Amino acid sequence: METLFMAITLLLDWQVVLAILIGSLGGVIIGAIPGVGPAVAIAILLPVTFSLEPLVGLTLLLGIYGSSMYGGAIPAILINVPGTAANALTTYDGYALTKQGRAPRALVLAYSASFFGGVVSIICLMLLSSVLVVVAPQFGAREIMLAALLGMLLVVIAHRGKTLLALLMLGLGVFLNNVGFESIRYTHQFTFGQTWLASGFDLIVVILGLFALSQAFLLLTARKVGRGDDAQNPVSSPSLVVGSAREHFRAFFRHRRVASVSAGFGVLMGMIPGVGEFTAQFLGYTYAQRTSKTPDQFGKGAEEGLVASETANNAVPAAALIPLLALGIPGEALTAMMLSVFYVHGVVPGPQLFEGKLDFILALYIVLLLLNVLVLVFLMVSTRWLVRVIDLPPKVIGICILVLSFVGVYALRNSVVDCLIAAGFGIFGCVLKQLNWPIVPIILGMVLGGILEVKSRAALARIDGIADLVSRPVSLFFMVAIVLVLVVHFVGIYRRRG
């Protein structure tokens, strides 16, 4: 009870309250603008959060992360363009419902499913917290080293059909992390005599370049998104989600089985580093289709498909915090960005966080619940106006992102060189997106590669052979998991070729 009171005290700070409002409402608007997405917004805001308290900064970023998926359903359903990558499957049945004149029902079903998935994920996270408190102290250097190795392996395997490309990008991320001054032997690595490389590649500069600037370049050269001849014009409908909302909510509860299973997939996939929302959506959507009485309707306006997709993707964000908070291992690019907020303030995620700052953890859980409630209420009263952001010209959005990104990069270290590096990575990211090559492994390679290097140095000095490496239960678990993942992956390749 005392811990709960301390957590509530943390939440009463006006800065936290303001961060909840800005993060949740701003995330919805960002998600509703096609082509922007949470990665761009978080990359731009990241330098700002360094001057804020950890809870304030994380609340702002988590608000944008989770609520952008709510907003991303709006263009996915109304104009067949996902607001974020996580809403890709929503277009399959959401847009089909719009063409049938059932846009209000589709939107409310999406909001309800998103809220359900988010709340289930948070509840699972809260229930697991007691387990994490017991398990977390058992993680030493060797366990975190193996966890990072497993995370890197899962990042590569998660990109089915592009595993070699993902491995290449992951290796590039590990290489970038090693460029610059090396503090152990006081030497320069891979600088090739260039003094501007002595400080290495800052993670935030790379993130802003690969995600924000690359997207700005694409938007500046893109054509305006059209609705299509057969699409319903949502802006002209003044009562878009008014009147029969209660009936639509009841319709969602008729699909509670699909929603529950999809939420489970979201939680599970969120906990596994490198997997993310799309895999959770795919599993939930596949389950819904295989168990449906009308599987032929999927892709043509099946409510079950829409519910499965939106429930699964919104169940991921809270679950993705489990490896981040317990082990300090980010599961994806967005949680890697959040990890930097911890480090800037000297707060190290991992076992010690649960031992000494349980009130901070509990406050974070409460913030996540409040964000979901606030976003649902906001969407139910504002959708009729919110849909108008879909009409913003891509070039206007691109210019805004470009300016904000360069301001953010320069503010880090007042360095023009950082701006040039970010621009270089922006062009590189633009090329990768045009080629449809994976970008996320680069960021995770920089983060997980650094963790792997530091922890392996600490662990290998105390380990006497392979038997000693797996002599503890947690390290044995991770080693078995690594072997199983490799076996399953190569068996799958063999069967597909056979």
pLDDT tens for the chain, residues 1 to 498:
676 777 777 778 788 889 888 888 888 888 777 656 677 777 777 777 878 888 888 888 888 888 888 888 887 787 766 667 677 678 778 888 888 878 778 888 888 888 999 899 888 888 876 676 566 667 778 887 887 888 788 778 867 778 899 899 999 999 998 887 776 677 777 777 777 777 788 877 887 788 778 878 888 887 654 444 444 444 334 344 444 556 656 777 888 888 899 998 888 777 766 556 666 777 787 788 888 888 788 778 888 888 888 898 888 888 888 777 777 777 666 777 777 777 777 777 776 777 767 778 888 888 888 888 888 888 877 777 766 655 667 788 788 878 877 877 887 778 888 899 999 999 999 999 888 888 878 887 887 788 788 888 888 777 877 777 878 888 888 889 889 988 988 888 888 776
- Confirm whether 477 is domain-assigned: no
Q: Is residue 72 part of a domain?
A: yes
| 481 inside domain | no
Q: How high is the pLDDT of residue 238?
A: 37
Q: Is residue 471 part of a domain?
A: no
Residue 54 inside a domain? The answer is yes
Is the residue at 58 inside a domain?
A: yes
Domain of 186 in residue numbering reads as: 2-224+245-462
Establish if 478 belongs to a structural domain.
no
* Residue 294 placed within a domain: yes
**How many domains are contained in the chain?**
1
Amino acid of residue 381: V
